[in-house]
Amino acid sequence: MNFTPKTAFRTTNAPQPAGPYSQGIEANGFFYTAGFGPQDPATGAVPDSVGEQTRQVLRNVQAILKERGLTMDHCVKTTVHLADLADFAEFNDAYQEFFSEPYPVRTTVGSQLAGILVEIDVVAAVPESK
């Protein structure tokens, strides 16, 4: 079995890692992102509502995807952590603004989050070079 080395990607247009992890890693034809929170990368501000937090999280995800030359259309899987599953409808309304059919598969779980309402990571398929 051949292993393609992993390549890290970083952008200043998304929040910087708060520990020993990469914002994004490409390996074996897929691009994996860290779990992004709703911090504005320029100011550190966090919106109040779960809808606005979801939009900021997904803008952060878009930034690291763009660094690799990908878009939300390349996403095949998302994992969503919500501080309160009762916020699902508002989250889902904001989430669907960023994706088109066929939507990525998704897992949504309730999680204890440190001072935020939503965190999302994605897996994107990297198109083969021709």
Q: What is the pLDDT of residue 23?
A: 97
CATH number at residue 99: 3.30.1330.40
User: pLDDT value at position 128?
Assistant: 86
**Tens-place pLDDT, residues 109-128:** 999 999 999 999 999 999 98
**1-27: per-residue pLDDT in tens?**
666 689 999 999 999 998 999 999 999
pLDDT at 54: 98
Q: Is the pTM of this model over 0.85?
A: yes
40-81: per-residue pLDDT in tens? 999 999 999 999 999 999 999 999 999 999 999 999 999 999
Domain residues for the domain of 16 are: 7-125
Question: Is the pLDDT confidence value at 35 over 90?
Answer: yes
Taking the mean position of all CA atoms in its chain, how far away is CA 94? Answer: 14
Q: How many whole angstroms separate alpha carbon 125 and alpha carbon 128?
A: 9
> What is the C-alpha to C-alpha distance for residues 18 and 12, in angstroms, rounded to an integer?
13
Instruction: Say which DSSP state 115 is in.
Output: S
Statement: residue 93 has pLDDT above 90: yes
**95 found inside a domain:** yes
- Does some domain include residue 2? no
Number of domains in the chain: 1
